[in-house]
Amino acid sequence: MPVPPVDPDSAQGPPPVLSYPPPPAHATPAQQHEYERGRWNHFLLDDTWRRTRFNAQPNALLVEAVRHQPPGRALDVNMGEGRNALYLAQLGWQVTGIDFAEQALAFAQQRAQALGLVLTTIAQDLRTFAWDPDQWDLLVLSYADDSAHVAEVHRALKPGGLVVFENFHAEVNQAWNTPPDQQVGFATDELPALYTAAGFRILHYKEPVKAADFTRETHRLVQLVAQKC
Ligand SMILES: C[S@@+](CC[C@H](N)C(=O)[O-])C[C@H]1O[C@@H](n2cnc3c(N)ncnc32)[C@H](O)[C@@H]1O
């Protein structure tokens, strides 16, 4: 997912210039991967980006989804700097976060220590992650990436476990002028169709136009809470 352009309405005063070098021309997949890792390490910890763009609060859909859940084992997929993982740990969940941005994970670990919390972090490319079966009571995919991850989520959740999923609707490609070969987001009703077909019970699904929980830009979002039957 690209770091989205600045929405002037979401910042106080004129939008700051948030620049990052472009990827190398004709990058190999390995070079592109390294570039993305560096870019996320940079933005997730950058003071200006955090002050003007980032919502450091836990994802509101997640907060609502776990309100009445007994704590168990949670995996925060593409965790970032830990806003959701630390919230769950504070509620008593045993939380593991995976992300390839190792500096963001280190930041989360520092905050966990300061709060007296235990957080397990895995610095790894999600594409090589094992998704072992029946491991988790909760899977969090908060602006994780551009895959629905249905098969992996179904395998890795324990029966009765929940997945909380929020990301951009595919409409965002128009606003961001995304090139045809780099489209992001999810189509109307794509997620509930995929998760229902895989045997999940849909507990909540909405496509609201509202401020994105991650970067505070206003776009159409997709919000899913589903339970593995
Ligand atoms: C939009 S951020 C969301 C962070 C976090 N889930 C949140 O809601 O605050 C996307 C995250 O995915 C991570 N990421 C992207 N591609 C990845 C990959 N292939 N393997 C592991 N992490 C990846 C980035 O480092 C970044 O932390």
- Domain contains 174: yes
What are the tokens at 80?
Answer: 């970032």
- Domain contains 90: yes
State the pLDDT at residue 1. Answer: 61
Q: Are 150 and 198 in contact (CB under 8 A)?
A: yes
Rg of the chain in Å (alpha carbons): 17
- Domain enclosing residue 90, as ranges: 60-228
Looking at the chain, the whole-number percentage of residues with pLDDT higher than 90 is: 86
Q: Evaluate: CB of 67 within 6 angstroms of ligand 1.
A: no
Q: Is residue 216 very low, low, confident or very high in pLDDT (cuts 50, 70, 90)? A: confident
Beta bridge partners of 143: none
Q: Are 77 and 57 in contact (CB under 8 A)?
A: no
d(CA 49, CA 43): 6
- Domain contains 143: yes
- Domain contains 142: yes
User: What is the rounded average pLDDT of the residues 176-180?
Assistant: 94
Beta bridge partners of 122: 98
d(CA 27, CA 94): 38
How confident is the prediction for the chain on average, in pLDDT? 93
Here the CATH number for the domain that contains residue 168 is 3.40.50.150
Q: Is residue 2 very low, low, confident or very high in pLDDT (cuts 50, 70, 90)? A: low
State the pLDDT at residue 10. Answer: 43
d(CA 83, CA 61): 13
- Domain contains 80: yes
- Domain contains 153: yes
pLDDT for 112-154, tens place per residue?
999 999 999 999 999 999 999 999 999 999 999 999 999 999 9
Which pTM does this prediction carry?
A: 0.93
Nearest atom (ligand 1) to Cα of 213: 8
Q: In the chain, how many domains are there?
A: 1
- Domain contains 175: yes
Q: Tell me how far the alpha carbon of residue 145 lies from the centroid of ligand 1, in angstroms.
A: 7
Listed in order, strand segments (DSSP E) in the chain are: 73-77, 94-99, 119-123, 136-142, 157-168, 200-206, 209-211, 218-228
- Domain contains 183: yes
Query: No. of H helices and E strands in the chain?
Result: 8, 8
| pLDDT > 60? residue 11 | no
Q: Tell me how far the alpha carbon of residue 41 lies from the centroid of ligand 1, in angstroms.
A: 10
Q: Evaluate: CB of 41 within 6 angstroms of ligand 1.
A: no
